[in-house]
Structure 1
Amino acid sequence: MRQVRSHDREVPAPRSRWDEIVPGLWMGGHVWADGSGGLRPVVPDREFGLVVSLYTYPGHGPAPEVEHRVSVIPDGPLAAPQLDEVVRVAALTVRAVREGRPTLVRCFAGYNRSGLVTALALCGLGGLDASEAITLIRRRRSPWALHNETFVGYLLAGLPPVRA
């Protein structure tokens, strides 16, 4: 199977466009590996009421009438304003899920940046601590989800709580 990016040589591309982590909350990326191992684009249309993009690429959706929050952050150490934005988009995600709007949180592959926001949203939705949220994401999305140890460290250290 092809790899996601040249600097992540050991990390396989995701095998699905997106995966439901808990009812109403989905996690995905901009690419996935088809059955032959080729990378295919992921373009949501009207499947979701909110799409949160932490990476963006022209032509990758969603439909114009779908709420789309673009908050580009790097897949690496984050500065304080970037961490604040992670908390803000996680709170937006929590509100949308509580309102019953199907929500997709995505980044390039749907592993790290989307995992950080999704894990924080899961904690904000209640019932899970950071460790449990990480485990759930890896079980539902991919064992490769949240392989960025810096992001795992942010979650386990306790980012500010999500208020929705």
Structure 2
Amino acid sequence: MRMTGRGAPDANSPWNEIITGLWMGGHQYRDPGGTLTPAIVGAEFDVVVSLYHRDGHGPADGVEHHYADLPDGPLLAGQIETVAALAETAAQAVQAGRTVLVRCHSGYNRSGLVVAQALAELGYPIEDAIFLIRYRRSKWALNNPLFVDYLTTGLGIALLLTDLEA
């Protein structure tokens, strides 16, 4: 089995439901036979938030799509603001009864950061949000300790601290 960044194996499904209506995934996964398979989004979701881009991976025309190119590493102040805005968009869509997919390359870190913050917006304590993501997506989710620090510190404080470094 091929291991991706930080020694994490590829996901074994294209996306997983974290809470009702809120899904987390990537752009590729290993199918049951072990073949690396593209995770192509059609019209399965009402809203798709992409934090990584690969041509031909959807979503279908007519699906509300939000895209931000974020690194799986230290974020700049503006990028933290983008994470907060995308999390709010996802949370509001879930509250409105819409289905939301948040995805990145592997479906572990960048998507985990946005989904965890969306869960916080929905009233979940951040430790519970992190647990749910790891339980429902993969134990490898949020394996970027910096992203966990952003979440446990609070994005607002992380933004202020990042802004001081600039």
More helix per residue: 1 or 2? 2
Identity of aligned residues (%): 52
- Work out the CA distance in 2 between the residues paired with 1:37 and 1:153: 33
Report deviation, 1:15.
0.4
Task: State yes or no: 1:54 paired with 2:68.
Answer: no
Task: State yes or no: 1:130 paired with 2:136.
Answer: no
Any conservation in 2 of the 1:2–1:37 contact (CA below 8 Å)? no
Task: State yes or no: 1:24 paired with 2:21.
Answer: yes
Partner of 2:60: 63
Equivalent residues, number: 157
Report deviation, 1:9.
6.0
Q: How does 1:1-164 map to 2 (within 5 A)?
A: 1-4=1-4, 8=5, 10-126=7-123, 128-160=124-156
- Work out the CA distance in 2 between the residues paired with 1:2 and 1:9: 12
Backbone CA RMSD of aligned residues: 1.2
Q: Which runs of 5+ in 2 are unaligned?
A: 158-166
- Work out the CA distance in 2 between the residues paired with 1:64 and 1:55: 18
Q: TM-score, normalised by structure 2?
A: 0.92
- Work out the CA distance in 2 between the residues paired with 1:33 and 1:150: 26
Q: TM-score, normalised by structure 1?
A: 0.93
